[in-house]
Amino acid sequence: MGNQYVDMGLSAPVNVTWEVTFKCNLSCIHCLSDSGKKRKGELDTDQCRKVIDELAAMKVFQFNIGGGEPFMRRDFLDLMDYAHEKGMVTCISTNGTLITEEVAKRLDKNLVYIQVSLDGATPQSNDAIRGKGSFSNVVKALEHLKKRNIEVSINTVLTRLSFPELDKMVELASAYGAKLRVSRFRPSGRGMDSWSDLNVNKNQMLDFSQWLSRHLKVSTGDSFFSVTTEERKSLGLNMCGACKLTCCISPKGEIYPCAFLQHDDFYAGKLPGNDFKTIWETSPVFESFRRLEIKSCESCHRFDLCHGGCPAIAYHTQRKLGVPDPGCLANCVKIKSPTIVAEGA
Amino acid sequence: MQIHSVYSLKNGVQVRKERFGLLFYNYAGPRLYFVPTQDLISNDFFEGKQQVKELVDHIEANHPWPRQWIEDRIGQVLQILEQKGLIYGQSVC
């Protein structure tokens, strides 16, 4: 990753996370956006097309689509077609429950990635988080997608429940020709309520870091750079990409640094209405994010690997930016060391 | 590189102009490739219409560098981009 070029300031994001609706047919206990019912003010079809026009004109390469459940929108596939006509790549995060054979056929094109959420290798563990019956529905979706050779990742949020099943998740993904992607649990939306129950402890985070270093084909969506080891340092970002490489658009068109910081403190503007290029280039929120320095981390031997970690987690747990990621590997090692000594004695 | 070739983006590849030069995005991955060409090569060059000779002529007319040096540098950049699977060349002669 050419950090020095990113630091010069890009003319547009490389990708934009776009949560296209709050509506969802599941009620996962860790949902970052507290999704459920459609909310007042969500963008309609014409407004969504204007968003696509504006971002395509700036040459944004990719949309990372999320929600809510994107397929709950009746116009969703038409909107994706519209983005593809403009040459944009779409990576769609879905709970998989609405991917029928017909939907899979429509998705069978070059510019689409699908990311299906699954939070356990068995119905028991997955459904405890995502709701009864969700595991079997996802398996059906994976079969439809596999039949069409569509590029798929299974996305698992790292929690105390999913952590012991990661090896089985690798096997499950492989059985469907999919990659495994593990993403970080963040205390946002309903994740705030379940944070203390579900978040892995520091020993588990350290074990997970070592697990990742043995599973180089498992991707992380760049959400675990705080625990990146030397083995993985060439595989992705070594810093937070918010406002430098990416940003987020909410279902109402509000623009934020990232999906996990959809908070009034980080509101940068709204589409359609405000000019996205102006927001990207001059928003005070975005500018302050680009200047964000986590001074207390600069002397750490791991600084080049993580640059202080994820500001969103620091914000949600400590209500401030510019402080170290609490899940940082250096902190985990400090906790783990006495246990190792005790076990060896 | 042939001086009378034109170059186009491979399927799934996009490119845009940035302050440092060109930023390529490859759907097939690895996703991003940063090319520090400053303003020497425009992203429009990869639409397959402008010959390498025309690009070199343009650079020579606007910079004090020897023509052979420009040809060598442009040739190196195009060769690397071809090796990375981002572009392909076609001779027009």
Cβ of B14 within 8 Å of Cβ of A61? The answer is: yes
Cβ of B23 within 8 Å of Cβ of A10? The answer is: yes
Residues in chain A, total: 345
For residue A180, the cross-strand partners are: A154
Distance of CA A125 to CAs A36, A122, A202, Å? 21, 6, 22
Distance from CA of B93 to the nearest CA of A (A): 30
The pLDDT score that the predictor gives to residue A299 is 84
Residues of chain A contacting B17 with CB distance shorter than 8 Å: 11
Q: Is B17 on the interface with A (CB under 8 A)?
A: yes
- For residues A72 and A24, the answer to whether their CB atoms sit within 8 Å is yes
In percent, the amount of chain B with pLDDT more than 90 equals: 88
> Beta-carbon neighbour count of residue A311 at 10 Å?
25
Residue-wise pLDDT tens digits, A124-157? 999 999 999 999 999 999 999 999 999 999 999 9
Cβ of B19 within 8 Å of Cβ of A9? The answer is: yes
As a whole number, mean pLDDT of residues B27-47 equals 92
Cβ of A2 within 8 Å of Cβ of B34? The answer is: yes
Residue A62 pLDDT > 70: yes
Cβ of A5 within 8 Å of Cβ of B20? The answer is: yes
Residue A110's closest chain B neighbor by CA? B12
Among A8, A87, A110, the residue with its CB nearest the CB of B14 is A87
Residue A70 pLDDT > 60: yes
Q: Which of A216-225, A252-261, B41-50 has the lowest mean pLDDT?
A: A216-225
Flag whether the ipTM exceeds 0.90.
Answer: yes
Distance from CA of A300 to the nearest CA of B (A): 28
Residues of chain A contacting B19 with CB distance shorter than 8 Å: 8-9, 11
Among A8, A62, A87, the residue with its CB nearest the CB of B19 is A8
Q: Is B58 on the interface with A (CB under 8 A)?
A: no
3-state secondary structure at position A94: strand
Among A10, A89, A111, the residue with its CB nearest the CB of B18 is A10
Among B14, B16, B20, the residue with its CB nearest the CB of A8 is B20
Q: List, in order, residues 6 or more apart from A326 with CB less than 8 Å away.
A: A313, A314, A317, A318
Among B12, B16, B27, the residue with its CB nearest the CB of A11 is B16
As a whole number, mean pLDDT of residues A57-66 equals 97
Residue A343 pLDDT > 50: no
Residues of chain B contacting A87 with CB distance shorter than 8 Å: 14
Residue A225 pLDDT > 80: no
Q: pTM of the entire structure?
A: 0.90
- For residues A190 and A217, the answer to whether their CB atoms sit within 8 Å is no
HSE, side-chain direction, 13 A CA sphere, residue A310: 25
Q: Is B39 on the interface with A (CB under 8 A)?
A: no
* pLDDT band at residue A345 using 50, 70 and 90 as cut-offs: very low
Residue B36's closest chain A neighbor by CA? A5
Cβ of B27 within 8 Å of Cβ of A10? The answer is: no
> Beta-carbon neighbour count of residue A149 at 10 Å?
9
Token look-up 């405000």 returns A274
Cβ of B25 within 8 Å of Cβ of A10? The answer is: no
Q: Is B18 on the interface with A (CB under 8 A)?
A: yes
In percent, the amount of chain A with pLDDT more than 90 equals: 69
CA distance A83 to A130: 29
Cβ of A8 within 8 Å of Cβ of B31? The answer is: no
What's the one-letter identity of residue A332? C
The pLDDT score that the predictor gives to residue A334 is 58
The pLDDT score that the predictor gives to residue A277 is 97
What's the one-letter identity of residue A295? K
Among A5, A59, A110, the residue with its CB nearest the CB of B34 is A5
Cβ of B36 within 8 Å of Cβ of A8? The answer is: no
In percent, the amount of chain B with pLDDT more than 70 equals: 99
Residue A336 pLDDT > 60: no
- Give B24-49 as a DSSP string: EEETTSS-EEEE--TTSS-GGGGBS-
Who wins on pLDDT, A210 or A72? A72
Strand A246-249 to A254-256 pairing: antiparallel
Cβ of A59 within 8 Å of Cβ of B16? The answer is: yes
CA distance B73 to A244: 29
- For residues A202 and A160, the answer to whether their CB atoms sit within 8 Å is no
Distance from CA of A105 to the nearest CA of B (A): 20
Cβ of B12 within 8 Å of Cβ of A110? The answer is: yes
CA distance A253 to A77: 19
* pLDDT band at residue A308 using 50, 70 and 90 as cut-offs: confident
Who wins on pLDDT, A82 or A32? A82
Question: What angle separates helix A134-147 from helix A123-130, to the nearest 10 degrees?
Answer: 110
CA distance A288 to A56: 25
